Structure 1
Amino acid sequence: MQEQLKSKGPTILMHDGGGDRSQSGEALEKLLPWLKELLCTNSIGGAACP
């Protein structure tokens, strides 16, 4: 996913169909910090960074 975001832009669609959502939670724990770093580093969308 990280390579696709770098080359194709900042659009992300995630769908969780229900049931055991532990994999979705684990994926978000990894993805969200990486996205925040990407947005802050590249100033995509005028992101406010701490």
Structure 2
Amino acid sequence: MCGCGEGGEAAGYGPKTRFEDGLARTVDWYLSNRRWVEGVITGEYLEYCRRVYG
């Protein structure tokens, strides 16, 4: 299993955002973009992807 433990820290990698803060920001984004979420739920977004990407 791979994680962000000692190897990541030794290479200079690490989280820029605390998990709790990132989760709160993610929830806020979804709440602020309800139209996009609704499009995903109804299949409108899937149809868009099919049209654009074939």
**TM-score, normalized by the shorter chain, greater than 0.5:** no
Greater fraction helix: 2
- TM-score, structure 2 length as denominator? 0.31
- TM-score, structure 1 length as denominator? 0.33
